Structure 1
Amino acid sequence: MPKLQSLLRLALILLILAALAYAGWHFTRPQPPEVELATVARGTVESTVVNTRAGTIKACRRAKLAPVSGGQIVKLWVKEGERVKAGQPLLELWNRDLAAQRELASRQLTTSEQRHREACIMADTARRDAERTEQLAAKGFVSPQRGEDARAEARARQANCNALAADVKRAQAQIRVTQAGIERTTLHAPFAGIVAKVTGEVGEYATPSPPGIPTPPAVDLIDDSCLYVSAPMDEVDAPRLKPGQPARITLDALPGQSFSGRVRRIAPYVTEVEKQARTVDVEVDFNTPPKQILLVGYSADVEAIIERRDNVLRVPTQAIQQNGSVLVLGANNTLETRTLKAGLANWAYTEVLDGLAAGDRVLLAFDDENVKAGVKVRPRQGNKAAP
């Protein structure tokens, strides 16, 4: 009996040791690597072209205004950030000399009109006298020479009337000349917009920009009611671009938002910024005016949509290896290699023509070299189907 109890005690001890050894092995054994997976599903795939460098938001109309002639600023009617209407005066230069010339021309016009009126009255009187003299000459009361003299006097008076009419027109033209000179000293808004910058103050001297010498404009006027994006595209993508193609616009200033647009213009030439960096400028309009206030000069990115396919089987592009295959989660959580036949593709998604089915889960990251076909893995919690 004591011997039996000893054997039972020994068996119990061995059983406890075996359980402890198994628990130690179970909890200390290497765990399968945790991986990030994506579920193959249906969705939209687009073939797109993106800009190589940041684009810029520009205004459809922007004028850097300067007076036609130089002069001292005597009136400055606007401030930076102020909105103006078309034709509204912005600034005025000193023009007292031109105003005096206009007043002198106005007085000369008045004098010329009075002289013209007087000459025409005398010409009309001379014409009536000539008619009466001709009637008297026809009846023999006066000599025929007297009638001819009267007709000559009437013609001379009428010629003087016509000459003074030309003087009136010359005086009117002189007023227009002086008025044009005055208008050259006043800067008006060519369109409605917002004043971006004013260079100069009252009392300072403003000059027009000489040819070949850039001079800061007196007033920088922007029509921010119409905006578009100008972005450089790589020259190899230029043949795929056409006016009217849909596009998406994103802004660094508004992360997480995109705006629909349409290609409005493709530059007819290639711009060489640096060696081996040749681009084509593309202009894209907003389909609808953004509700947010966008500033001219914001950096923007353009994604021109070349082709679009809806409700197709797609896989994240980053899941595709260089040889065109993908790693699929198979039975018992073991990775399997699948050869993929791809269709339309972009940086985000690739269309699946053959090799995968909806619901397959593919490996996204290839950072761990130990994660390969035949390796058992643990799906990371929270993996979802691609949106």
Structure 2
Amino acid sequence: MKHRKYLAYAAVALSLAAALAWAFAPRPVEVETARTRVGLFEQAVEEDGRTRLKDRYTVSAPLAARLTRITLRAGDIVTQGDVVAELLPVMSPLVDGRSMQQAVARLGAADAALTRAKAQTAQATVALDESLLDLKRTEQLAAVGFVSPSRMDTARLAATAGRRALDAALAAQEAAVHEQDFARAALAPSEPGRAGRPIVLRAPVAGRILRVAQPSEVTLAAGTPLLEIGDATQLEVVSELLTADAVQAREGARVIIDRWGGPPLEGRIRQVEPAAFTKVSALGIEEQRANAVIEVQNAGDAWRAVGDGFRVNVRIVTASASGALMVPVGAVFPHAGGMAVYVVEGRRAHVQAIDVQARNGSDAWLRGGLAEGQEVVLYPAAEVRDGTRVRTRVP
């Protein structure tokens, strides 16, 4: 009996020891895993962009004038040559008391100048008549030989000089008449009903009205913009790249345009502008950026709904390789001066050094260190060490 009792005690003690050993034994760490794969690797620069018209035309006032009300609105379609605005000559400004006195004095001076010019004309006419009579008498005397040839030449020159003096006097009289008209016009009251013939402005190209800067009737200075016209179907995308990224964005590089309200579109970089500019970020940091101009290639009917200045997202492919061995970047971590991953072998995680050639937002392109199809730990927790037992988490 005692022997059986001891055996029972021993069995209970072994059960308790086994239970304690099982309770305090290390559990496998639950991890999320992925497998390496071979495929197309692309490295890209991702930035915001905006659409803009390739050609934009601004209709402006060619001279100071009064604009009649523009009936066109943004979005209206116009053809080349359509009337888009009308300008009327500016009315004369109001005249104050001093200006009125000056105008009256200017008219009096013009009247006096005209009187003097008429007197000079009469004087020149008398002098011409006298020189012509003298020439006639001299010619009669020269016919019978009583006048020398030099006297005859003097008479002819005097008659010619008289004619020139009369012409000058008549011209001065004509100028005085115009001066009088000018001075009289300054005193004439302005008549709103006789503002003059309107100047018509026409659309330089066919397209849509983008913006009407001056819809109401107003008096404008020369060069004031009135409205903008452009072809809304001819759009390009402009993205402001950091200069470090702009160096990698080559002309002709492939671009993926998305988040514009439709399916992703293909594009190509047409030009990276050579001059950079300073832009302050949302964090208040000054950044040097350059514009990349992108041509949209496979635009469909949905793209027609996009207008000028719409926001889009662009991914500029700077490196591409087919048949590349890739591992998710979430599995890569620094180790011993290089990079490594945890490879799952026999339900245990082992550190494996890798040689990373390039990476993008989701994958790392490997030169070596792994083979296709190997299982690696994603986002390894602090509990994972070399040789740790792991268990794949079931989603």
Superposition TM-score tier, normalisation by shorter sequence: 0.5 to 0.7
What pairs up with 1:120-199 in 2 under 5 angstroms?
185-199=199-213
8 Å CA contact 2:42–2:321 kept in 1: the answer is yes
For the residues of structure 1 that align with 2:26 and 2:82, how far apart are their CA atoms?
79
Deviation by residue 1:193-240 (Cα, 9 ceiling, x = unmatched)? 222322334533344446xxxxxx422333210111111222233333
Matched with 1:258 is 264
Cα pair distance change 1:202/1:282, threshold 3 Å: closer
For the residues of structure 1 that align with 2:29 and 2:207, how far apart are their CA atoms?
61
Task: Report whether the alignment pairs 1:280 with 2:290.
Answer: yes
For the residues of structure 2 that align with 1:342 and 1:287, how far apart are their CA atoms?
33
For the residues of structure 2 that align with 1:16 and 1:188, how far apart are their CA atoms?
105
Deviation by residue 1:20-75 (Cα, 9 ceiling, x = unmatched)? 88668757866433222221011111233344xx3221111223432223433335
For the residues of structure 2 that align with 1:43 and 1:239, how far apart are their CA atoms?
27
What pairs up with 1:33-72 in 2 under 5 angstroms?
33-51=29-47, 54-72=48-66
Residue 18 of structure 1, CA deviation: 6.5
Q: Could you tell me which of 294, 302, 311 is aligned with 2:306?
A: 294
Secondary structure of the residue that 1:225 maps to in structure 2? coil
Give me the identity figure in percent: 21
Deviation by residue 1:94-122 (Cα, 9 ceiling, x = unmatched)? 3699xxxxxxxxxxxxxxxxxxxxxxxxx
8 Å CA contact 1:326–1:362 kept in 2: the answer is no
8 Å CA contact 2:343–2:352 kept in 1: the answer is no
Task: Report whether the alignment pairs 1:329 with 2:343.
Answer: yes
Task: Report whether the alignment pairs 1:359 with 2:373.
Answer: yes
For the residues of structure 1 that align with 2:274 and 2:254, how far apart are their CA atoms?
20
For the residues of structure 1 that align with 2:68 and 2:267, how far apart are their CA atoms?
45
Cα pair distance change 1:297/1:29, threshold 3 Å: farther
The structure that has the greater radius of gyration is: 2
Matched with 2:331 is 319
Cα pair distance change 1:358/1:86, threshold 3 Å: same
Residue 7 of structure 1, CA deviation: 4.6
For the residues of structure 1 that align with 2:35 and 2:373, how far apart are their CA atoms?
6
Letter in 1 for 2:328: P
Secondary structure of the residue that 2:244 maps to in structure 1? helix
Matched with 1:114 is none
Secondary structure of the residue that 1:273 maps to in structure 2? strand
8 Å CA contact 2:341–2:354 kept in 1: the answer is no
For the residues of structure 2 that align with 1:15 and 1:81, how far apart are their CA atoms?
91
8 Å CA contact 2:348–2:388 kept in 1: the answer is yes
8 Å CA contact 1:206–1:218 kept in 2: the answer is no
Residue 359 of structure 1, CA deviation: 0.9
8 Å CA contact 1:39–1:362 kept in 2: the answer is yes
Q: Could you tell me which of 60, 64, 73 is aligned with 2:67?
A: 73
8 Å CA contact 1:327–1:372 kept in 2: the answer is no
For the residues of structure 1 that align with 2:230 and 2:376, how far apart are their CA atoms?
51
Cα pair distance change 1:263/1:9, threshold 3 Å: same
Which blocks of at least 5 consecutive residues in structure 1 are unaligned?
Answer: 98-180, 211-216, 383-387
Cα pair distance change 1:20/1:310, threshold 3 Å: same
For the residues of structure 2 that align with 1:28 and 1:55, how far apart are their CA atoms?
57
8 Å CA contact 1:77–1:89 kept in 2: the answer is no
For the residues of structure 1 that align with 2:291 and 2:278, how far apart are their CA atoms?
11
Residue 303 of structure 1, CA deviation: 2.5
Matched with 2:249 is 241
Matched with 1:86 is 80
For the residues of structure 1 that align with 2:372 and 2:202, how far apart are their CA atoms?
65
Cα pair distance change 1:223/1:31, threshold 3 Å: farther
8 Å CA contact 1:67–1:186 kept in 2: the answer is no
Greater shift, 35-44 or 236-245, is seen at 236-245
Q: TM-score, normalised by structure 2?
A: 0.61
Equivalences, count: 283
Matched with 2:164 is none
8 Å CA contact 1:66–1:207 kept in 2: the answer is no
Letter in 2 for 1:189: A
Secondary structure of the residue that 2:246 maps to in structure 1? helix
Letter in 1 for 2:264: S
Q: TM-score, normalised by structure 1?
A: 0.62
- Provide the alpha-carbon RMSD of the alignment: 3.4
8 Å CA contact 1:248–1:258 kept in 2: the answer is yes
